[in-house]
A and B are shown apart, each in its own frame.
Chain A
Amino acid sequence: MAAMENRRILAYSVDAAEFPDLAARYGVRSVPQTVVDGQTQVIFVGRQPEEQFVAELLRASEG
Chain B
Amino acid sequence: MGIISDAQQRQIKVLLDNHLQDPVEVLFFYADPHDPHTAAMQEILDRLGTASGGRLRVSVKGGREGRARAAAYKVEQAPALVLLDKDGRDTRVRFYGTAVGYEFMVFLEDVIDVSRGTTRLSEPARRAIRAIDQDLVIQVYTTPT
- Interface, chain A (partner B; CB < 8 A): 1-19, 22-23, 26, 28, 31-39, 50-51, 53-54, 57-58, 60-62
Number of B interface residues in the complex (CB < 8 A)? 40
Partner of B136, one of A1, A10, A14, A31: A10
Contacts of B110 in A (CB 8 A): 1
- Interface, chain B (partner A; CB < 8 A): 37, 74, 77, 91-99, 103, 106-107, 110, 113-114, 119-122, 125-126, 128-130, 132-144
Chain A interface SS verdict (over half): mixed
Query: Contacts A1-B121, A54-B129, A61-B132 known; A15 to B140 CB distance under 8 Å?
Result: no
Q: List 21 A-B contacts (CB under 8 A).
A: A1-B110, A1-B120, A4-B92, A5-B121, A5-B130, A7-B92, A10-B138, A13-B93, A13-B103, A13-B140, A14-B77, A14-B96, A14-B141, A15-B99, A17-B97, A17-B143, A19-B77, A22-B139, A34-B141, A35-B141, A61-B133
